[in-house]
Amino acid sequence: MMGGEQAVEVVNYLKSLLGSGESGDQAMIVVENRIEVKAGFAEAVMERFKAPKSVHTFQGFVRMDVLHAATSEGTEEVRVCTTWEKEEDFHAWANSDSFRHAHARREAAQGGEHGRTHGEGGGEAPKDAANGPIVGNKVTVYKLVASHLPEKTTVQAER
């Protein structure tokens, strides 16, 4: 979308995927991991997502977006949204050794378990502000219903 003429083939491919599956696990999905962190720690959490990791190599992976917002005094929110061609592709990644190793390293670095992860079907993690910067997280899987990409138009200015 933002790649201009160089990205036209990619955009056309993504558009073709949107129409390729209307039911069940054949529709594209977006998986959102909403991570609530203590104020001042969001940059450190977001840093982990700046460079591509093994998830980017999995079949069916389309893209990752990392969003940030200050939500209230004392906390910030980081949303990690991944788009997948099919739900089964996401589950293959979430149940992979690569996923388990990446999340085990993160938990060890933070000093313990921080609730449920993608592979466990989502849900909300218990809020435990005493252990590390993460206060809680919630994973939600969305079916991608519509996606509007820029189109070239020939709009003439009114005189």
Whether pTM > 0.85 for this model: the answer is no
- pLDDT tens by residue, 88-107: 999 999 999 988 887 775 55
Question: Residue 63: enclosing H or E segment and its boundaries?
Answer: strand 61-72
Q: Which of 70, 11, 18 is nearest to 46 (CA)?
A: 70
CA dihedral of 140, 144, 146, 149, whole degrees rounded to 10: 100
Residue 22 reports pLDDT greater than 80: no
CA dihedral of 132, 57, 52, 98, whole degrees rounded to 10: 20
Per-residue pLDDT band for 40 (boundaries 50, 70, 90) equals: very high
Stretch 49-66: mean pLDDT:
93
Per-residue pLDDT, 140: 95
- Is the pLDDT higher at 119 or at 39? 39
- Is the pLDDT higher at 116 or at 79? 79
Annotation: CATH topology of 4-143: Alpha-Beta Plaits (3.30.70)
In the chain, domain spans: 4-143
CA distance 40 to 48: 15
Q: Which of 82, 87, 56, 57 is nearest to 67 (CA)?
A: 82
Q: Which two tokens stand for residue 46?
A: 């977001």
CA distance 61 to 90: 8
